[in-house]
Amino acid sequence: MYIGQRIRRKEDLKLITGTGRYVDDINLNGMFYLAILRSNVPHARLKKVNVEDALKLPGVVDVITGLTINVENRPKNFPMAVDEILYAGQPIAAVLAEDRYTAYDALDYISYDYEELPAVIDPEEASKDEVKAVEESSNIAYSKVYKGGNAEKAYEDSEIKIEEKFYISRVYPSPMEPRGLVADYQQDRITVYASTQSPHYMRSYLISAFPDFDFRVIQADVGGAFGSKLFPYAEEYITVYASIKSRRPVKFINTRSEELHSTYHGRGQIHHVKLGASKDGKVNAIIDDLIIDLGAAWHGFYLADISSTLITGPYDIKNAMANIKGVLTNKVPLDQYRGAGRPEAAFVYERMMDILADELRIDPIELRKKNVIKETPYVNPFGLKYDSGNYLDLLNKAEGIYKEMEKNAEELRKQGRKVGVGLSFYVEQNNFGPWESASVRLLANGKVEVIIGAAPHGQGTGTAIAQIVADELGINIDDVSVTWGDTDKISNAFGTYGSRSLTLAGNAALLASRKLKENIIKLVASFLQSDPEEIQYKDGKVFNPKSGKALSLAEIAKMATSNLGGTWNYKAEPTLEATASFGLDNYTFPYGSHIAMVEVDDSGKVRVLDYVAVDDIGLVVNPMLAEGQVEGGIMQGFGEAIMEGIVYDNRGNLLTPSFAEYTIPSPAESFRMKWMYMEEGMSSAPLPAKGIGEGAAIGAPPAIVRAIEKASGRRITTIPVRMEDLI
């Protein structure tokens, strides 16, 4: 059995030997390069773009201005500012040149005339709708109220009432590889090579924008995405348009500074929360007024829906209300970053739990135990059905770890060091659908190829899916290859996002393997002149127990593909391939706990001394891959808690335009961490897994923040926590 084993990643060899092929490694004959002139004013009326001087430069082929394409939830002048500039970084013009250097140099020869407009940067200011982020539009781009029970009355009737406001900064998802694509026009068909999380979704949004063309989208190797390479970007439309217009291949690669000015930021929420409880700590009501800072487009609004509908977390709180305002500001548009709405919710409900515990002078774990959901399935006040698990059991395990860490912390405190321990407990929603597909093929050499519709980009899902298929077919994992990321290889699919790939594509691959076995049995019955019922499949061999005749997969593949001539005399279709799709009728809800011990020194510097995460994600297919996900997520959560934050000045200039100002954790800040798991909360899929790709990014910030709070004695309501806040 390979499932459950720490199998090494099959993906790594090419990546670590430099034979990976990222978008920027793709060079096509006659290729032009595209560079984008971006606005350096946050809000202005655009009068005129002067391109004549740029066009005179040797090597410059074209300058594109004024391109508009109607894409849902984007401002009217998407993908290029035409009459109104909405944020610093917005594309205004694109230069097409024979080489990249000429393209970038030519940007200096373009100027634009504009009349500056007041910009609105602070989301609370924007919610007053006085200064407009987009002329003649309301700043309130989205509003929604969620109600479950009667939260207002329950709050009023509560013995204990607490109220707090939380600020969660905008962050940049920081993939190692910036966004980029190559568009290759050929006779009404355009091949796009992209650094994307979903070639199929990209194909569908490019088809809507350019309906006269057929698209093939190929996912190049991707150097990370973390949610930021899923939804449509201005530069993609501009590059494709440039390829169609010039009838040449065109390459666009973002620079890091352009990334910070254009890749959708994540998070950016403000929560004003009221919580009502009884004196003994039973929470009766939670009311959350949420402002989400959408930036200069509408499309990130759904993140507030995810946060709101999970605002009661893993706790049995009957009365809840969430009141969302999505506001436009003159900033880079907002969209998902690992966790997408769930880290924001967990930060809020876990902060409120700790604050209530402090208020009531109750042990924070006792308080959580009192409120935690005791039975699953459980329907939360907004109708989300938490599918399975034993929350109390996991919390008990986490408590043991917490107590151990507390003991160690106490020793260090006795030495005069400022050390604290924090625990978070979370539930999350994943396996965002609708479904995923997979094809399994017996190749002519007797090996098996699996093509999945999911589009992994660092997670190692290919290895885990090889484990599943090798087990199902009873063959050596070295005989299974898994490929993905090409719309011509598998027709309908979705991609990798929302911690879905293992569960949905993995189950699709499992079902396709079962179908393949059936197809093979039928074919072998025909070869052996037997009834299919007489034929059995076991450990990569097909045999007739009566006659004792057996064929290996390699022999079957050979028999089916190597004889030319003759006539059709098979009783079954000679299909050595099967495709299956798989979807769930509910999301999956993994849950877990993080426990952190930190030290804060006199300069306000935070160091993590110890860290343990415990999760229940149902069946764990490859504990090493899952652990890798948890470790990466913990580091990102750590970054979000104390280091990372997009900062604008109040005129709308981005003050964090590079990794010199926008700091992310490096190995120097890394720390010892341990991951443990239990397998009680199985999903309802045939292979009963849930996702783990985002859990740690959800559990980490509240645990780290609580530990900092305990170490420093300062109440923390804003992330990132700055050093100066802790002295």
192, 450, 626, 703: which one binds ligand MCN (CB under 6 A): 626
Stretch of residues binding ligand MCN (CB under 6 A), selected from 88-96, 254-262, 617-625, 657-665: 617-625
User: How far apart are alpha carbons 622 and 620 in whole angstroms?
Assistant: 6
Identify which of residues 293 and 694 has a Cβ nearer to ligand MCN in the complex: 694
With respect to ligand MCN, which residue has the nearer C-beta, 286 or 619? 619
Give CA separation, 676 vs 501, 590, 594, in Å.
21, 14, 10
One DSSP character per residue, 389-450 reads: --HHHHHHHHHHHHHHHHHHHHHHHHTT--EEEEEEEEE--B---S-EEEEEEE-TTS-EEE
In the list 689, 700, 705, 721, the residue contacting ligand MCN (rule: CB under 6 A) is 689
Tell whether residue 625 is a contact of ligand MCN (CB under 6 A): yes
Residue 317 or 696: the one with the smaller Cβ distance to ligand MCN is 696
Query: Of 316-345, which residues contact ligand MCN (CB under 6 A)?
Result: 338
Q: Which is nearer to ligand MCN, 433 or 532 (CB)?
A: 433
Point out which span in 31-39, 131-139, 223-231, 261-269 binds ligand MCN (CB under 6 A): 223-231
Q: Does 287 bind ligand MCN (CB under 6 A)?
A: no
Residue 159 has phi, psi (to 5 degrees) of -70, -35
- Minimum distance from residue 179 beta carbon to ligand MCN (Å): 12
- Does 693 bind ligand MCN (CB under 6 A)? Our answer is yes
Residue 87 DSSP SS3: coil
Residues 276 and 284 sit within 8 Å (Cβ to Cβ): yes
Strand 541-543 vs strand 536-538: parallel, antiparallel, or unpaired? antiparallel
Residue placing its CB nearer to ligand MCN in the complex, 448 or 619? 619
- Nearest distance in Å: CB 236, ligand MCN: 18
Among 691, 701, 702, 720, binds ligand MCN (CB under 6 A): 691
Cross-strand pairs, 255: none
Question: Which of residues 89 and 632 has its CB atom nearest to ligand MCN in the complex?
Answer: 632
701 sits near ligand MCN (criterion: CB under 6 A): no
Q: Which two structure tokens, joined as six digits, stand for 48?
A: 């005129």
617 lies in the binding site for ligand MCN (CB under 6 A) = yes
Position 629 contacts ligand MCN (CB under 6 A) = yes
Give CA 288 to chain center in angstroms. 25
Q: Of 565, 685, 675, which Cα lies nearest the Cα of 626? A: 675
198 binds ligand MCN, rule: CB under 6 A: no
- Can residue 600 be called a binding residue for ligand MCN (CB under 6 A)? no
10 Å CB burial of residue 257 (0-12, 13-18, 19+) is middle
Residues 631-650 that bind ligand MCN (CB under 6 A): 632
Rounded CA separation 457/223 (Å): 7
| Nearest C-alpha neighbor of 521 from the set 510, 509, 533 | 533
Strand order in the sheet with 283-295: 140-148, 319-328, 283-295, 266-277, 160-171, 718-719
Binding to ligand MCN, residues 499-538 (CB under 6 A): 499-503
Nearer to ligand MCN, 312 or 588 (CB): 588
Collapsing DSSP to helix, strand or coil, 716 comes out as coil
**Residues in 433-492 at the binding interface with ligand MCN, rule: CB under 6 A:** 456-461, 464
224 binds ligand MCN (CB under 6 A): yes
CB of residue 208 vs ligand MCN: minimum separation in angstroms? 24
Residue identified by tokens 């020793």 is 411
- List, in order, residues 6 or more apart from 180 with CB less than 8 Å away: 22, 23, 24, 194, 195, 251, 252, 253, 254
Size of the site for ligand MCN (CB under 6 A): 37
Residue 667 CB coordination number (10 Å): 6
The residues that touch ligand MCN, with contacts defined as CB under 6 A, are 175, 224-227, 338, 456-461, 464, 496-503, 617-622, 625-626, 629, 632, 689-694
